Amino acid sequence: MKNSTDHDNPMQNLDDWEDNLKERYPDPSDMTKDKEEFRNYVDSERVDTVREFYRVNHRYQTYDFVCQKEKEFLKFDKKEMSLWEAVDFLNTLVDDSDPDIDLDQLQHLLQTSEAIRADGHPDWFVLTGFLHDIGKVLCLFGEPQWAVVGDTFPVGCKFSETIVYPEFFADNPDSTNEKFNTKYGIYEPNCGLDQVKMSWGHDEYLYQILKDHLPEPALYIIRYHSFYAQHREGAYTHLMNEKDLEMFEWVKKFNPYDLYTKAPVKPDVKALKPYYEELVKKYLPDVIKF
Ligand SMILES: [Fe+2]
Ligand SMILES: [Fe+2]
């Protein structure tokens, strides 16, 4: 599927926003290469499309918008698929740009999970790496890019200045709504993130799909892996409880695997499949409702 460049879908490639992430949070173990990558990035017209992506994301991700998407998608009446059908379905999302450099969705998932496996982590952590972006099927249900990917952040309280392109929140009606625009907004101090609505996207969606099937740290990773304002900036600790703080150590542990394992080396899907089939069978039901 080609993403046309329009108001709702400014990026040519659904994952172009991740270039911006790597600029903001460069790989500390790879600083020399980053300079080169950074130059490529700033020279590219992707900067403008990613900026435009965040402009619409910050404008439209309101508290009411999230409530509306929850109603629409948490009925799970869109499609029933096995995990493998979902992976194939997600992989029909093909990039518009740089086919030589960009990896398809399955390759990103396998690179992430294989890097986790190579470091000797428990099997549920490997599986989490393999699953973490499956929620991007939202795009194939016709959702705009700004409601699928990008940094996530709490709605219902003040938007942090540490969120990328914070100036764009000026166009979000919640930022002038006095119910929502204070430090705590509608929430209580340290109420726990489970009480806090996050901007809508692939993270929350997949969490809701899998919440009965994976261990708690896996669910935290899936639900909050794009919440950079917390796992990198610590900007919302005032909403978190003890459990959240403990579980975010896993979210932090996961992040470098997600962000820095995108070398243009294609994993051998055929050779790896039996291992992942066993792993999927161990934790997930045969049919999953999307
Ligand atoms: Fe993701
Ligand atoms: Fe990812």
In the predicted structure, residue 3 carries a pLDDT above the cut 50: no
139, part of any domain: yes
- Per-residue confidence (pLDDT) for residue 51, from 0 to 100: 95
149 alpha carbon – ligand 1 mean position (Å): 7
> 160 lies in which domain range?
17-289
Confidence label for 43 from pLDDT (cuts 50, 70 and 90): low
Ligand 2 center–CA 189 separation, angstroms: 30
The model's pLDDT over 73-88, given as tens digits with 9 standing for 90+, comes to: 999 999 999 999 999 9
Q: What integer is the mean pLDDT of 10-24? A: 90
Does the residue 170 lie in any domain? yes
Whole-number Å distance, alpha carbon 175 to ligand 2 midpoint, is: 29
- Tell me the average pLDDT across 217-233: 98
| 42 located within any domain | yes
Least confident of 6-10, 209-213, 229-233, 255-259: 6-10
CA of 256 to the centre of ligand 2 (A): 10
> Does the pLDDT of residue 10 top 60, yes or no?
yes
Judge whether 9 lies within some domain.
no
Determine which of 3-17, 54-68, 110-124, 155-169 has the lowest per-residue pLDDT on average.
3-17
In a domain, 12, yes or no: no
Judged by its nearest atom, the ligand closest to the C-alpha of residue 202 is 1
Average pLDDT of every residue of the chain:
92
The structure's pTM equals 0.92
Q: Looking at the chain, how many residues does it have?
A: 290
pLDDT of residue 31: 62
Ligand 2: centre distance to CA 6 (Å): 24
Check whether 290 has a pLDDT greater than 70: yes
What is the rounded distance in angstroms from the CA atom of residue 118 to the CA atom of residue 34?
23
pLDDT of residue 164: 96
Determine the 3-state secondary structure of 287 from DSSP.
Answer: coil
Q: How many domains does the chain have?
A: 1
Q: Cα of 215 to ligand 1 centre, how many Å?
A: 19
Element (H, E) at 289: strand 288-289
Query: Ligand 2 centre and the CA of 222: distance in Å?
Result: 10
- In terms of pLDDT, which residue wins out, 63 or 34? 63
Residue 101, pLDDT score:
55
Average pLDDT over every residue of 42-58: 87
**Ligand 1: centre distance to CA 178 (Å):** 31
Q: From ligand 2's centre to the CA of 260, what distance in Å?
A: 10
Asked whether residue 263 is assigned to any structural domain, the reply reads yes
- Ligand at shortest distance from the CA of 259: 2
User: Would you say residue 8 lies in a domain?
Assistant: no
pLDDT at 42: 58
* Ligand minimally distant from the alpha carbon of residue 226: 1
Q: Is the pLDDT of residue 1 over 50?
A: no
Residue 286 vs residue 48, higher pLDDT = 286
The pLDDT assigned to 2 comes to 41
Contact 222, 192 (CB under 8 A): no
Name the closest ligand to CA 136: 1
Token look-up 């009606």 returns 173
Question: What are the phi and psi torsion angles at 80 (to 5°)?
Answer: -110, 125
pLDDT at 232: 97
Tokens 């998608």 correspond to 73
Virtual torsion, Cα 19, 24, 25, 26, nearest 10 deg: 70
Q: Model confidence over 157-213: pLDDT tens digits?
A: 999 999 999 999 999 999 999 999 999 999 999 999 999 999 999 999 999 999 999
In a domain, 3, yes or no: no
